[in-house]
Chains A and B, each alone.
Chain A
Amino acid sequence: MIPIRDENPNNETPFITYGLLGLNVLVWIFVQGAGFGTSLESSICEYGFISQDLFGTSGAAVCPPSSTPPALSLFSSMFMHGGWMHLLGNMLFLWVFGDNVEDSMGHLRFLVFYLIGGVIAALSQGFADPQSGIPMVGASGAIGCVMGGYLMLYPKVKVTIAVFFFILFWTFRVPAYLMLGYWIGVQLLSGLATSTAGGGVAFWAHFGGFVGGCILVYFFKDKELLANHRYYGWSDTRAEESIWDDPRNRQ
């Protein structure tokens, strides 16, 4: 199940969302060799986040020692990806949800929100398995933070999702709280059901980033910007000018 688009027009051009999309793609192409050759593996080992490096724990290492300080890898890991599908999937989620969250807080604040979300996500995964020597990469933790923020800001916005079944797919329009609620539920259950030792999807990063986003958004959102946002909150969406229908607001 993937989101295709939302019915939530922006007030402003989402420069940071576009910038993050571009940066992730550029890093994928120029740092990770677009997944070809040895660049992919070496970049993941060099810039990925490795729990045991940060926490100083011991365990089986799968990478040679990295020259990137562990604290810096909290940031660098969120711009690395493990494959084309990993990159494309993350960028699609960022494309759909990032612009409106940026709209709610302004450009610079959104950049900080995104980066803090990525760090929270990496730390969540780290705390879930401090001995892990497996490098974690991907923007999905930071994007999980964006999705958490989106849920808090625009729960009733209609999101068009595509559901695949082999070569068939269907699209549905569902409220954001259903789509995001389902997504975070899957992350939580998968995190509980999956061993972190073997690698794979960093469900705890997704979960931590998402919960972090739900909380952080209260500190980052800009009331002034949201006062003008048509689809903010749980109330039924109405045209702005309809507030004048209330006799108390009329001469």
Chain B
Amino acid sequence: MSFDIVPFEQSHLGDVIDLITLHDEDDGEAAEYDLKGDVEDHWVALVDGSPVGISGYRKVPSTDGTAYLSWTYVHPNHTNQGIGRSILNYVIGESRSSGSNKMFVKVSNYDDGSNVYQFGMKLYESAGFREELTNLDFYDVGEDQIILGMELDTSRSDPTEVKDERPTIRFDGIFNIAETEGAYTFSWNVQKNPLFGPRSFTVQDLYTGLRAVNEDGGRIVFLTFPSNLPLVHKPLQEAGFKYVGSLKNYFELGIDEMHFVHRMET
């Protein structure tokens, strides 16, 4: 079957949301909100002028060329026709030529009987993605988030030394992670080091956040930090966080994104 890959336009939105909703209603809702605001770096596969596939990427701010694969779906009637593989490879190529060094994709292992998870994993792995970490029970109990990564610039080599940073980190809020049941994360900011008072990331900050999540009925807390912040580790460990894994070279070459989890006591 012949198809064309063209840049996404707002006129495609309705059809695209419909085809995503056929797979996952929550994703359809979230994609509508996301794509309404920004269609840049997204493409659709057209068959007879109608969108039957969508993919794209989003650059991650404050990183050295890291991107996340965005909504990638093919209409159920057009699977196994090479459309998914083609549009995915197209997006990876576009992202690479726009300067991306590394691309990640988040996958749920939820299986509604249609084998969409196994199908997606096979597709991503054949494109070159490799599993980097799994956030167990991320979306819901028993529904994990798997993050796969792929180096787009394979000529990069690890730097000999990465400079540690010791900023004063302060939490300023908690929020429920979109598309999850009871999974929370904390928002935090970096302050100028004060002359007096607490000057470092503390376990008390974590307890404050955990108490707030508990009061909100949260089930689990996920936090991520750059790997060059040595001050975060002891407080995280003291507060009962567990290390999940790292997304290699997420922020820049040699600076990974470390993932931590804390399960609320029931």
Contact = CB atoms under 8 A, between A and B. Distances in A.
Given A244-B233, A251-B261, A106 B202 contact: no
Interface in A220-251: 224-225, 227-228, 230, 239-241, 243-244, 249-251
A106 B242 contact: no
Contact of A250 (B193, B201, B238, B242): B242
A250 B204 CA distance: 21
B197 to A, nearest CB: 8
Contacts of A11: 166, 199-200, 231
Contacts of B136: 251
**Residue of A13, A108, A230, A240 contacting most chain B CB atoms (<10 Å):** A240
Contacts of B233: 240-241, 243-244
Contact of B203 (A12, A227, A243, A249): A227
Contacts of B243: 244, 249-251
A250 B242 CA distance: 5
B44 to A, nearest CB: 37
The majority secondary structure among interface residues of chain A is helix
Contacts of A106: 196, 199
A183 interface: no
B156 to A, nearest CB: 22
Interface string B226-240: 010011011101100
B195 A15 contact: yes
A86 interface: no
A228 B196 CA distance: 17
Contacts of B196: 106-108
B198 interface: yes
Contact of B234 (A15, A108, A228): A228
Interface residues of A, number: 20
Interface string B164-199: 001000000000000000000000000001011011
A240 B164 CA distance: 11
Contacts of B258: 241
Given A107-B195, A240-B233, A224 B200 contact: yes
Contacts of A243: 233-234, 237
Nearest to A230: B230
A61 B235 CA distance: 58
27 contacts: A11-B200, A12-B166, A12-B199, A106-B196, A106-B199, A108-B195, A224-B200, A224-B204, A225-B199, A225-B200, A227-B238, A228-B201, A228-B230, A228-B231, A228-B234, A228-B235, A239-B230, A240-B231, A240-B233, A244-B233, A244-B237, A249-B237, A250-B242, A250-B243, A251-B242, A251-B244, A251-B261
A250 B135 CA distance: 12
A224 to B, nearest CB: 5
A9 to B, nearest CB: 9
Contacts, number: 60
Nearest to B259: A251
A50 to B, nearest CB: 36
Contacts of B203: 227
Interface in A103-149: 106-108
B147 to A, nearest CB: 13
B242 A12 contact: no
A243 B237 CA distance: 8
A250 B261 CA distance: 9
Given A11-B231, A251-B261, 13 more contacts: A12-B193, A106-B199, A224-B198, A225-B199, A227-B203, A227-B235, A228-B166, A228-B200, A228-B234, A239-B230, A240-B231, A241-B227, A250-B243
Contacts of B227: 241
A106 B197 CA distance: 8
Contacts of B204: 224
Select the residue from A13, A15, A225, A228 with max chain B CB neighbours within 10 A. A228
Given A249-B242, A249-B243, A241 B230 contact: yes
Nearest to B198: A224
Contacts of B202: 224
A106 B243 CA distance: 30
A88 B179 CA distance: 64
Nearest to B234: A227
